[in-house]
Amino acid sequence: MHKLIILVTPEAEGPIFDKQWPQFLHLAESMPGLLREATIRVQHMLYGDYPVSMLHELYFESQDALYKALASPQGQAAGQIIQQITDGYVTLMVAEHKEDDIENLRKYRQPESEAADAE
């Protein structure tokens, strides 16, 4: 699975952003091949030099599907809107997405007693 990650900085957010964000979402959500999306509002920056106030992720089956969606009329229009409403205070990234469920992770977790002995 691949995803488009949109990082929005605090400088981007304001009245124009708030007013036009739904329009961006409508276009992004209509891109062909979109499987799911997630919006993440940052509560606190714990560490780092790059301030981010919001992340938005758009998930696709493959990198090819993602690029086809970006090249679609909906993807092109969504890209124009995100650039306009953030005034360039945005970063776009393409990433391969892998995840694991807790049941599988527990199979490989070292028991606490063994972890304490290792120290």
Q: Going from the N-terminus, what domains does the chain have, and what CATH number goes with each? A: 2-118 (3.30.70.100)
Contacts of 65 (CB under 8 A, 6+ apart): 2, 33
pLDDT for the residue 72: 98
SS3 52: coil
pTM of the model: 0.83
pLDDT for the residue 106: 83
Residue 55 CB coordination number (10 Å):
16
pLDDT for the residue 82: 95
Parts of the chain with a pLDDT under 70:
111-119
8, β-bridge pairs: 54, 90
Question: Any idea which residue has 């995803």 for tokens?
Answer: 3
pLDDT for the residue 104: 79
Residue 69 CA to residue 34 CA, distance in Å, equals 8
Q: 8 near 89, Cβ under 8 Å?
A: yes
The CA–CA distances, whole Å, from 16 to 53, 90, 119 equal 16, 14, 54
Q: Which of 81, 39, 44, 79 lies closest to 56 in space, CA to CA?
A: 39
